[in-house]
């Protein structure tokens, strides 16, 4: 299976702290994307990083990609209660153009 | 922009009944994807269309599932007959352009088959 694995499965932090989530995958990719899902809602796209990129920023989000280790991380700085959600990485693998394979997700809880 | 629209938002039906889920993609998007999300299996791609043509249906579980896209603004996912194990949240997503672009997800249809 090409499905990515995310680590940790669950993360609980206090507001203001940073949250780091990791994603590993098995085969080469064209790009990797991170999505957020609030409970009972659809997925919202956060950021896309291409295979030739190593780091991208978007507001309080920072994504890194290490293709040699087949892994990515998502860092949320200065977390807020509103960041409470599940976060998924999704990979578009080489030779499977258009198809996204989603990871298992990390459930983030940010408490006041 | 209204985003991806799915209907119904919730569906409760009895085993053996036919279920039809509907999706309206974002105007101007030429790719459409159907996903299923369960606790056990996570988020799985069922089928995707490009310019209304099914490109890959390898994720469709079995012959009970079928999907159509008669035009650029409408798609259906049908389950006939439905079974309890089909209970899940079904998402539709659309994308503009080709691979490497963002997919935009609808709010999902929560299906419960009794």
List chain A residues with CB under 8 Å of B98.
97-98
Mean pLDDT, chain B, whole residue set: 93
Cα diameter, chain B: 40
Examine the pLDDT at A41 and tell me if it is beyond 70.
yes
Q: What CA–CA distance (Å, rounded) separates B22 from B4?
A: 11
Cβ-defined contact of A42 to B106 (cutoff 8 Å): yes
Q: What CA–CA distance (Å, rounded) separates B68 from B38?
A: 23
Specify whether the CB–CB gap between A6 and A103 falls below 8 A. yes
Of B31, B33, B42, the CB nearest to A104: B42
Q: For A61-82, write each residue's pLDDT tens digit.
A: 999 999 999 999 999 999 999 9
Six-digit token string for A72: 């990515």
Examine the pLDDT at A31 and tell me if it is beyond 70.
yes
| pLDDT recorded at residue B79 | 97
């Amino acid at each position: 299976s090409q499905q990515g694995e995310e680590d940790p499965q669950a993360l609980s932090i206090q507001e203001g702290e940073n949250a780091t989530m990791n994603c590993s995958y098995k085969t080469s990719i064209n790009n990797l994307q991170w999505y957020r899902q609030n409970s009972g809602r659809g997925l919202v796209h956060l950021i896309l990083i291409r295979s030739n990129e190593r780091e991208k920023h978007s507001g309080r989000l920072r994504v890194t990609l290490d293709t040699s280790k087949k892994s990515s991380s998502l860092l949320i700085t200065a977390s807020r209660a509103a960041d409470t959600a599940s976060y998924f990485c999704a990979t578009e693998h080489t030779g499977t153009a258009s198809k996204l394979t989603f990871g298992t997700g990390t459930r983030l809880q940010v408490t006041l | 922009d209204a985003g991806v629209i799915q209907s119904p938002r919730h569906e409760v039906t009895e085993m053996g009944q036919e279920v039809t889920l509907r999706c309206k993609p974002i105007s101007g998007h030429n790719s459409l994807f159907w996903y299923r999300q369960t606790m056990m299996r996570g988020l799985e791609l069922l089928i995707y269309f490009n310019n209304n043509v099914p490109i890959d249906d390898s994720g469709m579980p079995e012959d009970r599932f079928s999907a159509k896209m008669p035009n650029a603004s409408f798609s259906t996912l049908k389950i006939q007959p439905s079974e309890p194990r089909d209970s899940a949240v079904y998402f539709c997503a659309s994308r503009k352009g080709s691979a490497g672009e963002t997919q935009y997800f609808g709010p999902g249809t929560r299906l419960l088959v009794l």
